[in-house]
Each structure stands twice: as C-alpha cells, then as structure tokens.
Amino acid sequence: MRKFIEKIQIAFVKQFPLLRLVFAKLALSGIRYNFGAYLYAGAICVLMIPISIFEKIFALCTRRVVIGQVGIIVTSRCTLKCKECSALIPYCTQPLNKTLNDILNDIDILLDVVDYIYVVQLLGGEPFLHGDLDVIIDKLSSSNKVAAINIVTNGTILPNKKVITAMQNKKIRVQISGYPKTLVKNIDGFIDILKLHNVKFNHSTSLKWRHMGDRSFKNRNNGELKELFELCTSTLCNTLIDGEYHICPISGNGMSFGVIPKNATDFVDIRSLPKMEARQSMRKFFSRKVFSACNYCDGNTIYSKIIEPAEQVITPIVE
C-alpha cells in the first residue's frame, strides 16, 4: 500500500513542477519518512492537482520553460567521504575548478533561458566550503524567477557572518543531512547558530539512503532504461554543473568527474547554445525518458535497498 501511494506521488510530482515546491516544503518540514506523512503528502498532492494541471496546460500553450527543482553544484570538495554519496563526491577524479564568476555566469544563463524555477538546491560536496557562498545566495534570492532556495549541508562547517546574513532571506532554507554525531561532532553548535540568527532550517534526523548500484555498464535496452527512469526519484533533482543541465546528480557529476562516459546527448549545454535553441532543447529534454547515464546506475527507487546513511569510505579513493 505504502509503495503504491509513493509510486502515484512520484508519477504526479514528475508531471507537475509546482508539486516539487510543495514536496520540497513538506520534506523540509521534516515529515518525510513515515506512513502518515506519505498519506498527508498524498492528500495535498490531490488538492494541488487542479492548480498543477492548469499550470501545466498554461506552460504548454505559452511554451514556458518551468523547472521543478534543480541542484547547482558549487563545489566538489567535501569534509566527508560517504561511500554511497549520490553526488559521487568521493569518486571524483577531476575535481571541479570553477571560479565564482563561472557559477554566477551559469546562473545568469539559466535564469535567462527558463521562465521559472520552483526550487534551487545549492549542493556540493559541502556548499559551506565555498568561500563566496553568500554572493551565490544573494544572486539567486534576488531573482523573481526563483521561488525557494535550499542549501544542502552535512553540518560540519559553521557558516561565516556574510553567509548567515545572506541566509536570513525568506526564500532560503538550510537542509541539514542528519548524519551520526560521530561524523558531525559540532552539529548542535551549527544548529544553535542558525536558531540564533533566525535562519530557517530542517535537520533530517530520520534520513534514509537507498543503494543505487555501482557505476558499471548495465547493458539495458531502451524499454528497461525508460522503466527505471519512471521509477527513479533522483530525476526530480536536475543538476547544473559546468554549464551542463543534467537529469540528475549521477548524470551531471558522473560525467563531469569522469566516473561515467560523457554523452553530449544526455544534457543541455546552456553555455554554448543561443537562448532560443537552449529553450527548445530544454523543452525536449523534459519530455525524454531515456538517458545513457541510467545504464551506469540502478536508480533511487522504492524498490532499492535501504542502507545506513553516510557510511564512510575507509580507504581514500581520491589521493
């Protein structure tokens, strides 16, 4: 029954970008991982359907490009090395070397190409390791094309004064991944700082991870790739990395870090395409269900094995 409700919700959320904002808010309010929460979320989903259908038809008629949720990778550096990191950070052999200007430029291009984004996630690695995070936050929060910004952190790095000020914007919420205290020793101090400065946050203490397989080639046919794609919830977090708009972090980071083969047909290169072509490519991109990246992954689905979060890689992979 629970799996059935989850499956319906995933299908709806994939269809209607507006629902991603609703679910992001529900997830950030800490209700995600219990049965009652799923029923509650399902009821909200049903209530939102008429509005979402209207929005979808309006977007189709006006050819608007609307994004439900996109993660922007601000750094590939991290303070942890989680074995099952869905961003593949410990397996990064070609670290991102982006200047602040590169990131701001990509944000400018993205905001020029699309009409609206419900949720932007600022991701790493560990985003608080980025020395100019406040500038990135200010840039996004000042845009009237962005509804909400989540900063996803493991809580190991205390934000500086400039970042705290930037995070006081009402669009911002800090999403703290609830890793064991043995890994994140200063988590209480981190939370105290956010509370002291009235920064909105959620600490996901009931965090569960799913095993997404290894990165070997799986030799799936198009039908199998499509089936996996339909079930995979990671498709709800598109990824912008180095000017490339990807379906998920495994695709974006995997290709960028050299962990899976790069396939230019899997992403939209927003840096090199003229605006109207980029818009056209984005529309096509959102109607696709077959991606080569899904041949190097088992997806994040309701059938995937639940695993302990944040198990650390014992032998360092990247020297």
Contact pick of 26, 41, 87, 117 for ligand SF4 (by CB under 6 A): 87
Contact pick of 234, 238, 253, 281 for ligand SF4 (by CB under 6 A): 234
* Cβ 153 to ligand SF4 shortest distance, Å: 8
Nearest to 71 by CA among 125, 130, 32: 125
Is residue 82 part of the contact set for ligand SF4 (CB under 6 A)?
yes
CA distance 248 to 228: 13
* Cβ 309 to ligand SF4 shortest distance, Å: 8
Task: Write 163-169 long-range contacts (CB < 8 A, 24+).
Answer: 163/128, 163/133, 163/134, 163/137, 164/193, 164/197, 164/199, 165/134, 166/133, 166/134, 166/137, 166/138, 166/141, 167/137, 167/194, 167/197, 167/199, 168/197, 168/198, 168/199, 169/137, 169/138, 169/141
Between 52 and 75, name the residue whose CB sits nearer to ligand SF4: 75
Is residue 294 part of the contact set for ligand SF4 (CB under 6 A)?
yes
Residue 100 in contact with residue 135, Cβ under 8 Å? yes
Is residue 297 part of the contact set for ligand SF4 (CB under 6 A)?
yes
* Cβ 155 to ligand SF4 shortest distance, Å: 9
Is residue 89 part of the contact set for ligand SF4 (CB under 6 A)?
yes
CA distance 238 to 267: 10
Is residue 250 part of the contact set for ligand SF4 (CB under 6 A)?
yes
Stretch that binds ligand SF4, among 19-27, 122-130, 136-144, 278-286 (CB under 6 A): 122-130
Window 171 to 210, contacts with ligand SF4 (CB under 6 A): none
Tell me how many degrees the CA angle 221-270-20 measures, rounded to the nearest 5: 70
* Cβ 259 to ligand SF4 shortest distance, Å: 11
* Cβ 61 to ligand SF4 shortest distance, Å: 28
Stretch that binds ligand SF4, among 49-57, 86-94, 142-150, 191-199 (CB under 6 A): 86-94
CA distance 30 to 219: 38
Residue 312 pairs in a beta bridge with: 82
Is residue 235 part of the contact set for ligand SF4 (CB under 6 A)?
yes
DSSP state of 128: G
Is residue 291 part of the contact set for ligand SF4 (CB under 6 A)?
yes
Is residue 73 part of the contact set for ligand SF4 (CB under 6 A)?
no
Nearest to 177 by CA among 210, 206, 204: 204
Is residue 154 part of the contact set for ligand SF4 (CB under 6 A)?
yes
Q: What are the residue ranges of helices labelled H in 142-186?
A: 161-167
Stretch that binds ligand SF4, among 54-62, 66-74, 140-148, 290-298 (CB under 6 A): 290-298
Is residue 14 part of the contact set for ligand SF4 (CB under 6 A)?
no
DSSP state of 90: G
Longest alpha-carbon distance in the chain: 53
Binding site for ligand SF4 (CB under 6 A): 78, 80-82, 85, 87, 89-90, 124-126, 154, 228-229, 232, 234-235, 247-248, 250-251, 291, 293-294, 297, 299-300, 310
